[in-house]
Structure 1
Amino acid sequence: MTGNIVNTVAILIGGTLGLVFKSKISERFSNIMVEALGIAIMVYGISQGITTNNPLILFTSIALGALIGEILDIEKKLNELGDFFQSRMKNATGVTQGFVTASLLFCVGAMAIMGGLQGGLQGEHDILYAKAFLDGVMSIIFASALGIGVLLSAASVFLYQGAIVLLSGFLKPYLAAAVVVEMTAVGGVLIFAIGITMLKIKHLKLGNMLPAVFIPILINLFYTL
């Protein structure tokens, strides 16, 4: 769990630094930073989404994943958790947005999956160390724009990646290279959707789309059978 712990701590440190900067940034500049981040995230999401080798898998994964997420109403549960944290913090605003946005961004990428597998199966943490650096830098930027909710995403990352580490022996047979490629592409689409929401083009139920990342595993199992 070393790599996962380092990643979690990096988000906490980066987020704390971002909060220090936030107190010195006016709302005018904070708003333009959110818009700039939204555009950058959309471009990054596109770059990940086009890596798919089979668009049909991509479309099916997004559709089925969103359906499953809507049935489970994951978005509502994430928002309720964010609202709970906000209710416990004096003068805190935007906690839910920061928590949900950062949690999704830090969890849906391939580095979280492959880093967790590497740590659990090989006891090496190179991928998660690299992810820790990237997440730490992004936490500074996001916390300075979105606030303390970004720090709370560290708990989401720790639990999500920790589960992958602990279940790595079970998951490895189902995560062939081709499957990971499609999971990365689906994650890219979700990251693109984060940008859409941040730019207030349309509010999307991103939490409900989260199961889509894992649908390529089920499709691969279906093909195998």
Structure 2
Amino acid sequence: MIIGPYINGSAVLIGGIAGALLSSKLPERIRNSMPLIFGAASMCMGIILVNKVVHMPVMVLSVILGALLGELVYLEKGIGKLGAKARGLVEMFVRSEPGSAESQEQFLQSYVAIIVLFCASGTGIFGSMHEGMTGDSSILIAKSFLDLFTAAIFATTLGFAVGIVAIPQLIIQLLLAYGAIFILPMTTPEMQADFSAVGGVLMFATGFRICGIKVFPVANMLPALLLAMPISSLWSSIF
């Protein structure tokens, strides 16, 4: 029985609602310091996944080609527009207090970051596929703890729109989990390791973005996840 995606989605939803409701009561120092911790945690998780790489050239090539493809189709810009629409939808029902909302540009930057963190992390994608094949939900449950508090912190400034991210996250993870039975039999352990390593690179870049160190175009790098396994298979067959 698939339960991980539901637990992970519930964590984001609950965290988003709780953070939005408690935003006025949460000390400013916690709002400022905790995203740094979450960013550091994301980078550490990324490092662990990158260490699983089998073919380093596959990881590098996948990230480069994936980022190039994302830039060509303006993927991050499209996600940002969807985020803006989601915010407008929420604000139709939830009135923000004066001065509580971030500027449009700041909102889009932060919203894109959490969409990638929650929906497109290597841990979430790999964990969904892993559970679909083995029934082990431990990876997604571990991710849920991080997502719960991350969603709460971001919701103190972004509002209830953070909870909406739970919907695409749940859909993506369920599709991956139930589709894994068709995908994983065609893969090898090396392909899975290279795939996880590419996801680790994205998580590392996301950590930098959350910490405010460098705004990597993480959403534009998402196609790298689609390219990782095919390139890994091709590399293994040639070399």
Quickly name the TM-score band, shorter chain normalised.
Answer: 0.7 to 0.9
Match runs of 1:167-206 below 5 Å:
167-206=179-218
CA RMSD of aligned residues (A): 2.8
Match runs of 1:1-225 below 5 Å:
1-27=2-28, 29-88=30-89, 89=91, 90-91=95-96, 92-93=101-102, 95-121=107-133, 125-144=137-156, 147-222=159-234, 223-224=236-237
AA of the residue aligned to 2:125: I
AA of the residue aligned to 2:65: L
Q: Which whole-Å CA distance do the structure 2 matches of 1:145 and 1:176 have between them?
A: 43
**Alignment CA distance shift 1:208-1:82 (3 Å):** same
Secondary structure in 1 matching 2:53: coil
Indicate conservation of the 8 Å contact 1:116/1:165, yes or no.
yes
Secondary structure in 2 matching 1:68: helix
Q: Which whole-Å CA distance do the structure 1 matches of 2:153 and 2:187 have between them?
A: 32
- Which whole-Å deviations, capped at 9, do the CAs of 1:90-130 have from their partners, x for residues lacking one? 43435534432222123344442344334444556444344
**Alignment CA distance shift 1:143-1:80 (3 Å):** same
Aligned length: 225
Report the alpha carbon displacement of residue 78 of structure 1 after superposing the two structures with TM.
0.7
Q: Which whole-Å CA distance do the structure 1 matches of 2:121 and 2:14 have between them?
A: 21
Secondary structure in 1 matching 2:48: helix
Q: Which whole-Å CA distance do the structure 2 matches of 1:104 and 1:125 have between them?
A: 21
TM-score by length of 1: 0.82
AA of the residue aligned to 1:152: I
Compare 76-85 and 87-96 and name the one that shifted more: 87-96
AA of the residue aligned to 2:22: F
**Alignment CA distance shift 1:182-1:16 (3 Å):** same
Q: Identity over aligned residues, as a percent?
A: 33
Indicate conservation of the 8 Å contact 2:76/2:217, yes or no.
yes
Compare 6-15 and 44-53 and name the one that shifted more: 44-53
Q: Which whole-Å CA distance do the structure 1 matches of 2:22 and 2:128 have between them?
A: 31
* Unaligned 5+ runs, structure 2: none
Indicate conservation of the 8 Å contact 2:122/2:202, yes or no.
no
